[in-house]
Amino acid sequence: MNILVLHGPNLNLLGTREPDIYGHETLDDINQALTRQATAAGATLDCLQSNHEGVLVDAIQQARLDGVDAIIINPAAYSHTSVAILDALKAFDGRVIEVHLSNIHQREAFRHHSWVSSRADGIVAGLGSQGYRLALASLLGTV
């Protein structure tokens, strides 16, 4: 199984960005744990973070060509704005799991709606970095 993990804008700052909300782990910590978890299950996993909407759209389009089976995506702020990322995911045939570190429904009203959710097969929110690992375990069938 080939899995792509996409992280949206400002998630490169994890560890120092509002740690009371997003935790103390860095993006590297998260990606390394996911890579170990995937490798142990005989899967391959690639991670990409971008602050640019078009880069994320391009990566989703490329995933179709690369035979990616599933995408785990934290679209970050683009969750609440990006029809372009939604449309790219709609053109992708594999499974999609949306992850948010924080519980977006407990926060400001503008975070309550995610465009990506209508395409997501599953959503994990509010469980911190553990949410990514649970999303991956679900895809790998190791839950």
Instruction: Give catalytic residues, as residue numbers.
Output: 22, 100
* 114 is annotated as contributing to ligand binding: no
* 28 is annotated as contributing to ligand binding: no
What amino acid occupies position 137?
A
CB of 67 to ligand DQA, least distance (A): 27
* 80 is annotated as contributing to ligand binding: yes
- Phi and psi at 51, nearest 5°, equal -90, 5
User: Which two tokens mark 38?
Assistant: 């995937």
* 29 is annotated as contributing to ligand binding: no
Q: Which of residues 105-134 bind ligand DQA (CB under 6 A)?
A: 111
Sign for the CA dihedral angle at 7, 140, 129, 110 comes to: positive
CB of 39 to ligand DQA, least distance (A): 24
Nearest to 5 by CA among 128, 106, 118, 139: 139
Q: Is 34 in the site for ligand DQA (CB under 6 A)?
A: no
- Grouping H, G, I as helix, E, B as strand and the rest as coil, residue 16 is coil
Q: Is 6 in the site for ligand DQA (CB under 6 A)?
A: no
- Grouping H, G, I as helix, E, B as strand and the rest as coil, residue 86 is helix
- Binds ligand DQA by CB under 6 A, chosen from 77, 123, 127, 134: 77
Q: Which residues bind ligand DQA (CB under 6 A)?
A: 10, 74, 76-77, 79, 100-102, 104, 111
